[in-house]
Amino acid sequence: MKTIWFCGEDEKSLINVAESLGEELINREQCVELIVHSEIEEILGRGLKDTKEDRSTFTDRLGFVGDLLHRNNIFALIVSNKADMLDRKIVKETYGDYIQINIGNIKDSLCDLDLSAKEDIKANAKKIIEYLILEKILPEKSGSTEVYSKEEEEEIRRRLEELGYV
């Protein structure tokens, strides 16, 4: 599992793509937790002020939570458009297993996948799934529900015919 960090200018768009991705991961029988900076800021930010150092501490806390989750086989989807690049770089180096998805105009060297904010939400989620499969982070969804090979099916049919069931 991985921590997937969503960056971009519009938090609402980031949340929508993260939620869509989360639904698809759940459909693929994966465990997912969505962490939105603005929703947990009060809890994880206790004791912190609005200083550069404390914002860095908060970003580290987000990375730590993501690390805890993905070590327990959960995809941690973090939506935070407030963490600066240096802080995200430290989180990426410290905790590893980190993928950064940029949606919109924010581009930096940490970006693993760059998506358009103009693209449909589901299309962006699909691109992320394709990336996770390509990187062998997520297994391909089996399109086939084949239980028996063709030879086995023929043998079963033959035996059922012999018994008078077919």
Residue 127: give its domain's CATH number. Answer: 3.40.50.300
Residue pLDDT, tens place only, 45-100 = 999 998 999 999 999 999 999 999 988 999 999 999 888 899 999 999 998 888 99
**Domain limits for position 18:** 3-162
Please state the domain count of the chain. Answer: 1
Prediction pTM value? 0.80
CB environment 41-77: b (16+ within 10 A), e (fewer): eeebbeeeeeeeeebbbbbbbbbebbbebbeeebbbb
